[in-house]
Amino acid sequence: MNILETPSDKLLAGIRTLLAVKGIATADEVAERIRITDSASPARGAAMVARAWTEPAFRELMLRDGTAAAESMGVPMRGLPPLGVLENTDETHHLVVCTLCSCYPRAVLGYPPFWFKSAAYRARAVRDPRGLLVDFGTSIPAEMKLEVVDSTADYRWMVLPVRPAGTEGWSAEQLAGLVREGDMIGVTIPKGP
């Protein structure tokens, strides 16, 4: 059998059967993991960001231990890589990439956007990050420090963006509505009203 020419659905069925036969994971456990993965979306990350903007104690926890912060909001993190949170400030902007492949904080952001895994994004993020941001319509002042975070190993990283001006007095629910997927990768910046 040439594994490269075997239909992927047959390979998948074979792997599922082997996992069950070898007692590694039952069909129910696989189904449960798929359900958890499918139910994750950027709305979860946005809710964490909005809470960090409105609750200083949660912000502190999120920056110190992203996994604990996610769990405290009901996100299942058991068995997943630790979540690290990068704080954007008026001085520093973070941009996340995985040059090796596709490491992504799926538990809090869901499936990565299609471009996140593209060779072009992965190469440009480390080689020409400011040019890449311009292509995303994001302008970073020349005096602001830009830090690219290459997610290569055991952590998964998300960005805690700067709260936009003009949102004073907003509720966490209102604020969460402003936060987009790209804001938590660092390719965009949340826009105020």
Interface residue list for another protein (CB under 8 A): 82, 84, 99-100, 126-130, 142, 145-155
Q: For the CB of residue 81, give the shortest distance to another protein in the complex, in Å.
A: 9
What positions carry a catalytic annotation? 98, 101-103
Nearer to another protein, 89 or 174 (CB): 89
Amino acid (one-letter) located at 56: P
Among 111, 130, 108, 59, residue whose Cα is nearest residue 88:
59
In angstroms, rounded to a whole number, what is the distance separating the alpha carbons of residues 142 and 146?
A: 9
CB of 79 to another protein, least distance (A): 14
Question: Residue 45 or residue 84: which is nearer to another protein going by CB?
Answer: 84
Cβ contacts of residue 131 below 8 Å, gap of 6+? 124
CA 3 to chain centre: 32
Q: Work out how close the CB of 164 gets to another protein at its nearest, in angstroms, rounded to a whole number.
A: 23
Report the residue number, 40 or 132, with the smaller CB distance to another protein.
132
CB of 178 to another protein, least distance (A): 26
- How far apart, in whole angstroms, are the C-alpha atoms of residue 152 and residue 69? 22
When the beta carbons of 27 and 100 are compared against another protein, the nearer one is 100
Decide: 111 and 38 in contact? Cβ < 8 Å. no
